[in-house]
Structure 1
Amino acid sequence: MSTVPAVPAVPAVPAVTLNNGVTVPQLGFGVFQVPDEDTAAAVTAALRAGYRSIDTAAVYGNEAGVGKALAASGIAREELFVTTKLWNADQGYDATLRAFDESLAKLGLDHVDLYLIHWPTPARDRYLDTWRALERLAADGRARAVGVSNFQPAHLRRLLEHSSLVPAVNQVELHPGLQQAELRAVHGELGIATEAWSPLAQGAVLGEEPIVTLAQRYGRSPAQIVLRWHLQLGNIVIPKSVTPSRIAENIDVFDFALTDEEMASLAALDRGLRTGPDPDAFN
């Protein structure tokens, strides 16, 4: 089995402790929209750069590519944190368990570290039965932690009216243009970790004046400034790139910090900008 070359000398990624005691690296690597045939190379580059948390989903169609890279890495399984997600069409108790088995087979793993309901899909109204299946997966140890993605406050509260198991994570679109303050407050109240997808708004916020100014001040890229902002808010964050230099750049954000005033300047950029679907309408 091949081994990953020595990790560059970058500060260790801090860990976030979830509500069940499982720890997750605060900065991970996402593979949304990466073709399966390109995924193994991208994940390998991420592992070489020091990432140990990899985020995929059934609907991405690249779980097999992720699994290939993990198997070839030579990194011990306990050092890796692997997340995947259940697609909307597979919601429901029995269908969820079947879909989970399919994801595990593609990943080549006997468990995942985090399994998420990808969307609440309120018009389908199956997420309560789906959550029962995730409770079983957690009880069986096949998913070390379970959570949700794109759930709004009303979805979370309804879920908890019918379950004693609080989601460990809610992964949502979150970036300076869509800061989700109300939702983050609900997460804090309920003990749910906030994880940000599209943390750079697919580049839409990187030209904003406060971000550009801070990038020049610190000699960093605008993306590094935004990722640092996420980390200081306490978000778990999963940037995505297929370019090795950017993959390495995105994890090199632990040797500087923004001041309270600088954080406030980015807070002023919130304008309700969504790059993805509205969770209340998407099914």
Structure 2
Amino acid sequence: MSFEGLRAVPDPAVGAWIAPRLGHGWSAGGVVPRGYAAYARVLHPVDASRPLRVRTWAEVCEGTGRTPSALMRWEDVTVPAPGARLPVTLAGRWDQVSTYVGTLDATVLAPLPDALAPSTGGQDCFHALWDGRGWLHGGDAVAVLTADDADDADDADDPVDDPAECRQPPAPAALREALAGPRLRLPSDRDHLLFRGPLHAALSTGEQTTPDHFHGWSPNLLWPADRSWCLGTDIDLDSTVVGGSAALVDAVLAAPGVEAWPVGEDDDLSPWGPPPDA
């Protein structure tokens, strides 16, 4: 399903409207363009591969004794308050939880197109991916696993020893065309590959590691042809920003399985700040 429904955009000028409207740094209006009526900050979920049944920042705050808020920082809320007895790292943070940086996990990305659809209608959307992801340039690499001589007889029919079974699927045509074309460059000097297609194709951008396994990566920028809203995920941030009408932001805030807060375009979402109050 990698890049299903998407086609490469040959002229990045369709994204030229973004740079003049970007604010400073990691403000909400620095991640997506300024000038929208409302903004939402979508928090990236807690890594589900960790052993604890903690999935939201609010649940992390419940464990550490911190107070959730729209501008809370992961680096702050994972520091246990005095009296909260939790295993911590050398930096003093709860060592059993982590969150996703630079991409919105599929569990939270999946409900967002439905929330954005009423404001989008049937129009196409533009999907931009940061060009620095190594998997975008992976090609047809082969990983071959070898066995000890003593194990060769038992493993002779093991599929992991067959290079044909380990070969990465070839890159989709849309990705190959985008890699061969010009990039959309933003003031951060980051280049982006640009695609066009349906809104829900945002769920198909990612790495098809094997014919049966897809690892999704959310778009770093996503907007409809009429520019009525924009979704952005900075590669260094642990939250995603959506700007648009008040009704659209309300829909994002109410989306099932999405932990989100309303923010202003000048609100600072940087991951580092002063330590939490003792």
TM-score for the superposition, normalised by structure 1:
0.23
Considering only CA atoms, is the larger Rg found in Structure 1 or Structure 2?
Answer: 2
In terms of fraction of residues, the more helix-rich structure is 1
